[in-house]
Structures are given as C-alpha cells and as structure tokens.
C-alpha cells in the first residue's frame, strides 16, 4: 500500500468515526443526489473510467455509507474529497460556484471581484501565500507570510467567505484558500506579522474588479542587484491576453542583463506558454508565428509545488530545449486535460477527461518537473520575503559570470 493510499484509508476511518458520533444515521435526499451525481460523472467522464472496475465500485459503496452519515454541505464534501483522492489523478477537485466562475473568467481574460489574496493553511492557521501585484491585499499592506487571525470579527476558519481555492485533492502539497469577494465589499483582517501576538494589527481590504492579466502588468519591473539589472514579471495564468503582455514586457527589458519569469500558480492554455517560449527559441515551432530575435541573455523560470498543468508543460520545454534555468520547488505533477460538471448543489466537480501530452515518449502526469536549483521556502511569518524569487535573481546574475576556459591536458 502506498503512503498516499494509507493516508486515504486513515482519513476515511477518521471521517467515519466523526460522522457516526456527530450526525444522525439517515442522509437527506439532497446529500445522496449530490453523491450519486459525482459517482455518475466519474463513471462517464473520468479519463481512467475503463480501468476503475470492481475495485472502484467497492470503494463507492463504502463511501456511500459515509455519505449516509453526512449532512449536506461541508460534511458531505469531506466525504467526496476523500473518495475522489482514491482516484489518484490530478485535476480532481470540488469548486465553490464563485471560485469556478472566477477561474473561467481568468482563462477568458474577464475581470472578477477579488481581494487578490491566496491563503495557505499551515498547522491550523492561515497565512498569506500570494497576492496579485497591484491588487487590494497588496495595496492594503499585507505581506507574504502574514497570519490572518480574524476576518471581520470572526476567527478566519469560521468565516463563511473562506473557501477552498479548488486545487487537487490527490497531489498533496499545501491546502490553499480564497476569500470570496463581492462588489464594493470590504473585510477587516486581524493580521499577525510575527510569532508575537503583540504584532497584531487590523487591516481593511476592499474588493476590486481585476484579473491575472492586470496583475501580470503590475508585476513588470526591473530589480537592480549587484550592479546588474534583472527584468521580471509574474504569469498568474496561461490565459487569453497574457501572451502579448509578456512579449511587450520582454521587449521593454532590452537594456536588462537577465530575466526572471515567475511561473508559480495555476495553468491554463498551453499555447500561451508556447508563445512565451518563442522569445527564447532560435526558430519558431508554432504555425503562423514569425521568427523573433532570440533573447540571448540569461533567463530564469520560477516554479513551485503548485505550478501545474500548462505551466508544467512550459517548464518541461524550458529544460528539454535548454531555454533557461528552473529555480524553486518540484512542480505539482498535474498534466492532464480537465472537464467540469455542475452538481445538484451548484458546486462544480473538476475531473481529468483528456490524455496527458507526451514528451520523448513519456507523460508528465504524476512526474512533473524538478528545478535545476531547489530552494527551501518557509512561509509562516516570513515578513514578505520570497526565497524562491530571491534565489532566482541570484541565479540569473550568477549566470552572467564568464565561464572558465577548459585547461588543456598536460598543463
């Protein structure tokens, strides 16, 4: 039994114990309707549906007993997430309706109301993992690593607008959360800056209508370090509208000594990553795309454990074609086409429905991409520091140093 499977079994047993104690023995019709809709979607659309067979049917029967003990809403979703983790495939998640709507808006380059804030659960507390550059949270003065203790007078975990950000249930890694935003809505956050409770302060964050392309534009900047100029930007999503912004950014960095391109975060459309890489290729590989002057200076790409899907394909091509240097953490190992099914309770089930692209005869699903330079990244109370970004700048500048000439034999 693999470690992941063992975790699934332990989670199921713990879940069963809590449900038997806490709830009645009969589920509502709504609960079973949602459960059965998930099972039906897996049976009809999952990429591995032909291989599931009797073993999966037995698991479904066992989890249906758990669903019988669950109340609609969060309890049922705990059961469903644990069951879905048994599939051991990426792009398997339950998405809040607003999270799904925002995701689709991002891919289509439409704006949504947002706080521009992504939280990570770490030992029962919620820390700022990432913020949209130029977004409400960043403008309000939040920093990476801040602990969000309260949201508008409630403990963070108890606030109704705190929802799972919709990442995979099968790939491990940190659990990420978002705060749902509405037009004109504002939140008062109690923020703890250091391990000392005395560092707490209240910060007001007001929602803004924006998206990842807006944040991409705001992220374009030049960092000066050790007498060198490093151009940088953050690709939040491989979304419509992003490619032209990135190409314009690279052209604006003509007088820079190196580039650092941040690929951390969700994927999107593969062609966006391909368009970006054209800047660094000697010859075009996309139909209808003209050759461009290749960027001849060092370029670093930042990756981490939530770099996924189209961005993983991009990272692999960087390594395979030797287009740049990868810095950060191993990617998520999530490289497969996804589809979505709206459930009776209006939540959305994400499932893998397409094949995983192959490179040199192998798929990246379940494998991912390792960095050339691995970086330890400790988030809690990091005071705004970003070790992966800092390492990327350092590696880019080190790549500028002239390579030592080989010493002829006999000397």
pLDDT tens track for 229-249: 999 999 999 999 999 999 999
Residue 44 lies in a domain: yes
Is the per-residue pLDDT at 288 higher than 80? Answer: no
Is the per-residue pLDDT at 257 higher than 70? Answer: yes
Residue 357 lies in a domain: no
pLDDT at 174: 83
Confidence of residue 196 (pLDDT cuts 50, 70, 90): very high
pLDDT at 404: 59
Is the per-residue pLDDT at 119 higher than 70? Answer: yes
Q: Which of 188, 210, 232 is the last residue of a domain?
A: 210
Q: Do the beta carbons of residue 128 and residue 386 sit within 8 Å? A: no
pLDDT at 35: 96
pTM of the model: 0.89
pLDDT in tens, 2-54: 454 555 555 555 555 554 444 454 556 789 999 999 999 999 999 999 999 99
According to DSSP, the residues that pair with 209 across neighbouring strands are: 113
Domain identity same for 124 and 196: yes
Average pLDDT of the segment spanning 358-384: 92
Q: What is the C-alpha to C-alpha distance for residues 156 and 101, in angstroms, rounded to an integer?
A: 23
Is the per-residue pLDDT at 302 higher than 90? Answer: yes
Domain identity same for 269 and 329: yes
Residue 355 lies in a domain: no
CA-based angle 8:94:356, to the nearest 5?
Answer: 80
Q: What is the C-alpha to C-alpha distance for residues 257 and 298, in angstroms, rounded to an integer?
A: 8
Is the per-residue pLDDT at 192 higher than 90? Answer: yes
Q: HSE-up of 384 (CA within 13 Å, CB side)?
A: 6
Q: Do the beta carbons of residue 165 and residue 174 sit within 8 Å? A: no
Domain identity same for 228 and 297: yes
Domain identity same for 248 and 374: yes
pLDDT at 1: 41
Give the closest residue to 250 by CA, choosing from 269, 231, 270, 224. Answer: 231
Q: What is the C-alpha to C-alpha distance for residues 85 and 7, in angstroms, rounded to an integer?
A: 10
Give the closest residue to 295 by CA, choosing from 315, 276, 317, 272. Answer: 276
Domain identity same for 204 and 103: yes
Domain identity same for 394 and 284: yes
Domain identity same for 206 and 222: no
Is the per-residue pLDDT at 71 higher than 80? Answer: yes
Average model confidence (pLDDT) across the chain = 89
pLDDT at 21: 47
Average pLDDT of the segment spanning 131-147: 98
Flag the least confident range among 15-24, 162-171, 286-295, 339-348. 15-24
Domain identity same for 294 and 382: yes
**Which range of residues forms the domain containing residue 257?**
212-333+368-398
Element (H, E) at 15: helix 3-22
Average pLDDT of the segment spanning 206-221: 98
pLDDT in tens, 88-100: 899 999 999 999 9
Residue 327 lies in a domain: yes
The total of structural domains in the chain comes to 3
Domain identity same for 105 and 234: no
Is the per-residue pLDDT at 376 higher than 70? Answer: yes
């Amino acid at each position: 039994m693999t470690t992941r499977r063992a975790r699934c079994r332990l989670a199921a047993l713990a879940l069963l114990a809590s449900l038997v104690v806490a709830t009645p023995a009969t589920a509502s019709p709504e609960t079973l309707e949602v459960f059965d809709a998930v099972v039906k979607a897996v049976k009809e659309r999952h990429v591995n549906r032909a291989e599931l067979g009797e073993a999966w049917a037995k698991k479904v029967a066992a989890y249906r007993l758990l669903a019988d003990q669950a109340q609609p809403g969060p309890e049922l979703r705990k059961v469903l997430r644990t069951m879905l983790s048994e599939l051991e495939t990426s792009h398997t998640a339950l998405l809040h309706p607003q999270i799904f709507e925002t995701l689709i808006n991002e891919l289509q380059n439409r704006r949504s109301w947002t706080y521009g804030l992504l939280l990570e659960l770490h030992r029962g507390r919620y820390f700022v993992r990432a913020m949209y550059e130029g977004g409400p949270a960043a403008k309000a003065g939040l920093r990476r690593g801040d602990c969000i203790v309260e949201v508008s007078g409630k403990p963070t975990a108890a606030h109704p607008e705190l929802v799972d950000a919709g990442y995979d249930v099968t790939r491990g890694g940190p659990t990420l959360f978002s705060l749902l935003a509405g037009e004109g809505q504002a939140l008062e956050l109690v923020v703890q800056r250091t391990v000392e409770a005395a560092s707490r302060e209240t910060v007001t964050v007001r929602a803004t209508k924006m998206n990842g392309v807006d944040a991409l534009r705001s992220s374009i900047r030049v960092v000066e370090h050790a007498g060198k100029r490093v151009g940088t930007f953050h690709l939040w999503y491989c979304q419509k509208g992003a490619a032209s912004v990135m190409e314009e950014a690279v052209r604006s960095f003509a007088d820079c000594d190196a580039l650092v391109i941040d690929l951390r975060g969700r994927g999107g459309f593969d062609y966006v990553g391909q368009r970006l890489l054209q800047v660094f290729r000697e010859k075009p590989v996309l139909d209808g795309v003209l050759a461009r002057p290749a960027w001849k200076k060092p370029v670093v790409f930042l990756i981490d454990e939530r770099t996924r899907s189209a961005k993983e394909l991009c990272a692999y091509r960087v390594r395979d074609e030797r287009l740049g240097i990868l810095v950060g953490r191993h990617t998520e190992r999530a490289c497969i086409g996804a589809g979505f099914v709206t459930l009776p309770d209006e939540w959305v089930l994400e499932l893998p429905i397409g094949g995983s692209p192959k490179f040199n005869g192998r798929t990246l699903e379940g494998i991912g991409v390792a960095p050339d330079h691995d970086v330890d990244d400790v988030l809690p109370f990091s005071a705004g520091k970003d070790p992966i970004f800092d390492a990327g700048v350092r590696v880019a500048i080190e790549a500028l140093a002239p390579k030592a000439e080989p010493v002829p034999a006999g000397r």
